[in-house]
Amino acid sequence: DAGVIQSPRHEVTEMGQEVTLRCKPISGHDYLFWYRQTMMRGLELLIYFNNNVPIDDSGMPEDRFSAKMPNASFSTLKIQPSEPRDSAVYFCASSLGWGLAEFSTDTQYFGPGTRLTVL
Amino acid sequence: RKEVEQDPGPFNVPEGATVAFNCTYSNSASQSFFWYRQDCRKEPKLLMSVYSSGNEDGRFTAQLNRASQYISLLIRDSKLSDSATYLCVGGNYGGSQGNLIFGKGTKLSVKP
pLDDT digits (tens, 9 = 90+) for B55-66: 899 999 999 999
Q: Which pLDDT tens digit goes with each residue over A24-44?
A: 999 999 999 999 999 988 999
Sign of CA dihedral B97, B33, A68, A88: positive
Output B46-51 pairs: Cβ under 8 A, ≥24 positions apart. Answer: B46/A107, B46/A108, B47/B73, B47/B86, B49/A101, B49/A102, B51/A102
Measure Cα distances from B101 to A83, B19, B42 in Å: 25, 23, 19
pLDDT of residue A105: 55
Query: Closest Cα of chain B to A77: distance in Å?
Result: 18
Residue B82 dihedral angles phi and psi, to the nearest 5°: -80, -10
Please tell me the distance from the alpha carbon of residue A95 to that of residue A108, in angstroms, as a whole number: 5
Q: Which residues of B touch A108 (CB under 8 A)?
A: 46
Q: Which pLDDT tens digit goes with each residue over A48-64?
A: 999 999 988 988 988 99
Q: Which residues of B touch A9 (CB under 8 A)?
A: none
Q: Which residues of B touch A105 (CB under 8 A)?
A: none
pLDDT of residue A102: 56
Please tell me the distance from the alpha carbon of residue B99 to that of residue B37, in angstroms, as a whole number: 19
Query: Closest Cα of chain A to B73: distance in Å?
Result: 17
User: Which of A33, A34, A109, A48 lies closest to A79 in space, CA to CA?
Assistant: A34
Q: Does B104 touch chain A if contact means CB atoms closer than 8 Å?
A: yes
pLDDT of residue A47 exceeding 90, the answer is: yes
pLDDT of residue B75 exceeding 60, the answer is: yes
Query: Closest Cα of chain B to A17: distance in Å?
Result: 25
C-beta atoms of A101 and B44 within 8 A: no
